[in-house]
Homo-oligomer: A and B are copies of this chain.
């Protein structure tokens, strides 16, 4: 940015040292990111996997098991174990599809919505504090870098969520 080559930017932000710092920042920040929900969930019968399922069912009500499998990137056996407990304990309702009766459309019950809110409140509170501390311009950059870091297929999933969720 200070000089004028064709690819004219200052590339100091691409040094190995800068990249390593970015890697470590991701590591430590992700710990913070999951810390609050983890604390809330410990003691309940649930874990991080339940949180993720509840989050995305909240985000896309009526989504199918297949959809959720794609978004979460786990095996159906792994997801099934989680969904089963959520359904048994009345947090999630699985409605048989009208058009295709093989499909299960997933919805949060009132109880499920309550858990989602508690978890999401905690996570958003941390996010909000970080956003506020860093400012809107930093937030825009944060989102840009994270999007660029995703696998293309996951980026599409993510962007699909953005549209439907807006």
Indicate the size class of the contact surface on chain A.
35 or more
C-alpha gap A31/B52 in the complex (Å): 13
Which segment of A80-88, A91-99, A100-108, A153-161 sits at the interface?
A: A153-161
Q: Which residues of B contact A147 (CB under 8 A)?
A: 25, 29
Q: Is the CB of A21 within 8 A of B143?
A: yes
Q: Is the CB of A29 within 8 A of B132?
A: no
Nearest Cβ in chain B — how far from A110, in angstroms?
19
Using A131-B22, A141-B139 as known contacts, say yes or no to A29 and B161 having CB atoms under 8 A apart: no
A151 nearest CB neighbor, chain B only: B32
Nearest Cβ in chain B — how far from A70, in angstroms?
12
